[in-house]
């Protein structure tokens, strides 16, 4: 290497290191793959607020719904790896490679994982005036005329889609599926009785269930949830082994400098221990990650194990998207 090039390389490395040291010097954009007002949006806004306290910069939430979350994930994968664009995504990151035949990014290599942020069970819910009052009655009503019942989901790869897919194959009946851009708009239509039912994270339904704005049949967890204690578990309601837990993680594009990733991770770790965020999550039956889970290694491991876990289930269901 000649001297000039060598000194340019040194200068560039020094500048990159200095930029990473000063990071962040301007607001950060947090991409959210579903519409505003839904569970992923709620997790993202709480996380953004808590992380901005330690980063000393605003984190602006941008909702970019569509294609079960893959549009926002694709945009994040292609963004400049400078720490100014990050992504919050859920379990859908691990189902996308099997569900989408033409996915334009590889969830494992296109991102630098920052850490896990929350985990929540799902709830099987219906419009407030739906006739069935127990899960057994709900299943009976569905089986009697499944096409007449509308099931809302937030697109292929959304947790509401996965839960619906498992529910329909478990009860052996296909309802009429209505796709939305997120569970925010689904909740509005459910409360207004424009659709019959859905399966949504407790994050989004706990408040509406307590207020009796929607009907609840079961929570997809082994234990009842303190925030919605009246809701039986799926096993108690007659569907043993029907458990589904939705985890969310925070990602940066691959190639983001280590020093920037370290700052984002430290800030995420402070967020999951933030008292205000913890209290709010507790109220909506959503568990913050532990400090050890809010790390790149833990998210990397969860992502790979979940990709392997969902692959055979999705292939058996035989539902794919292009
Ligand atoms: N995360 C939700 C789902 O997967 C969608 C949303 O957050 O609005 O169904």
**Cα–Cα distance between 174 and 168 in angstroms, integer?**
6
CATH number assigned to the domain covering 121-219: 3.40.190.10
> How far, in Å, is the centroid of ligand 1 from the Cα of 38?
6
Residue nearest to atom 8 of ligand 1 (CA): 182
Residue 301 phi, psi (nearest 5): -65, -45
Which atom of ligand 1 lies nearest, measured to the CA of 41? Answer: 7
Q: Which of 163, 113, 122 is nearest to 39 (CA)?
A: 122
Q: What is the pLDDT of residue 322?
A: 72
Residue 233: how many CB atoms within 10 A of its CB? Answer: 19
Residue 209 in tokens: 């269930």
How much is the pLDDT for 13? Answer: 59
Alpha-carbon distances of 150 from 13, 115, 145, 205, 237, rounded to whole Å: 57, 36, 11, 18, 21
**Is 123 close to ligand 1, i.e. is its CB under 6 Å away?**
no
Strand partners, 197: 126, 151
CA of 157 to the centre of ligand 1 (A): 9
CB of residue 220 inside a 6 A radius of ligand 1 = no
Residue closest by Cα to atom 5 of ligand 1: 182
The closest residue, in CA terms, to atom 1 on ligand 1 is 40
SS3 61: strand
β strands within the chain, DSSP E: 28-32, 59-63, 85-90, 111-126, 150-153, 176-179, 197-201, 215-219, 245-253, 287-288
The minimum-distance atom of ligand 1 relative to the CA of 37 is 8
Pocket test for ligand 1, best of 61, 67, 158 (most atoms within 8 A of CB): 158
Residues of the chain with pLDDT under 50: none
Q: Which CATH superfamily is domain 26-120+246-317 in?
A: Bordetella uptake gene, domain 1 (3.40.190.150)
Nearest-angstrom CA–CA distance, 63 and 44: 10
| 26-120+246-317 and 121-219 have identical folds | yes
Q: Give the tens place of pLDDT for each residue, 31-76.
A: 999 999 999 999 999 999 999 999 999 999 999 999 989 999 999 9
The confidence score (pLDDT) of residue 18 equals 63
Helices 3-22, 258-272: crossing angle, 10 deg rounding: 10
CA distance 91 to 193: 28
pLDDT of residue 31: 98
CA distance 160 to 257: 35
> Structure pTM?
0.92
The token pair that represents 266 in the structure block: 């430290």
Position 1 scores a pLDDT of 53
- Is the Cβ atom of 159 under 6 angstroms away from ligand 1? yes
Contact 43, 203 (CB under 8 A): yes
Q: What is the pLDDT of residues 177-186, one digit of tens each?
A: 999 999 999 9
What are the helix (H) ranges across 39-89? Answer: 39-55, 70-78
114 lines ligand 1 (CB under 6 A): no
CB 40 near ligand 1, within 6 Å: yes
- Binding site membership of 38 for ligand 1 (Cβ less than 6 Å): yes
Q: Report the C-alpha dihedral over residues 80, 248, 27, 36, rounded to 10 degrees.
A: 110
Tokens of 6: 């060598």
Ligand 1 atom at minimum distance from 40 CA: 7
- Each domain of the chain, given as residue ranges in start order, spans 26-120+246-317, 121-219
């Amino acid at each position: 290497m000649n001297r000039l090039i060598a000194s340019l390389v040194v200068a560039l490395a020094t500048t990159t290191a200095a930029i990473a040291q000063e990071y962040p010097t301007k607001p950060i954009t947090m991409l959210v793959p579903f519409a505003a007002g839904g569970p992923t949006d709620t997790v993202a806004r709480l996380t953004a607020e808590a992380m901005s306290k330690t980063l000393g910069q605003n984190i602006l939430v941008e909702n970019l719904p569509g294609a079960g979350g893959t549009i926002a994930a694709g945009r994040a994968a292609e963004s400049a790896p400078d720490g100014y664009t990050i992504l919050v995504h859920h379990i859908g990151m691990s189902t996308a490679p099997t569900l989408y035949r033409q996915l334009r990014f590889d969830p494992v290599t296109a991102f630098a994982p920052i850490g896990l942020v929350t985990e929540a069970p799902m709830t099987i819910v219906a419009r407030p005036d739906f006739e069935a009052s127990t899960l057994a009655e709900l299943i009976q009503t569905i089986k009697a005329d499944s096409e007449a019942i509308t099931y809302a989901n937030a697109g292929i790869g959304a947790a509401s889609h996965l839960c619906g897919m498992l529910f329909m194959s478990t009860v052996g009946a296909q309802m009429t599926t209505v796709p939305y851009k997120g569970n925010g708009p689904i909740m509005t239509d459910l409360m207004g009785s424009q659709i019959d039912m859905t399966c949504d994270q407790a994050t989004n339904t706990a408040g509406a269930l307590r207020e009796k704005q929607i009907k609840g049949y079961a929570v997809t967890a082994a234990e009842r949830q303190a925030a919605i204690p009246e809701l039986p578990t799926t096993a108690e309601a007659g569907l043993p082994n029907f458990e589904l837990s939705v985890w969310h993680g925070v990602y940066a594009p691959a190639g983001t400098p280590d020093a920037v990733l370290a700052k984002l991770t430290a800030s995420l770790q402070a967020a999951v221990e933030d008292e205000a965020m913890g209290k709010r999550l507790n109220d909506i039956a959503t568990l913050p990650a532990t400090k050890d889970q809010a790390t790149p290694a833990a998210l990397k491991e969860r992502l790979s194990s979940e990709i392997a876990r969902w692959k055979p289930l999705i292939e058996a269901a035989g539902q794919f998207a292009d």
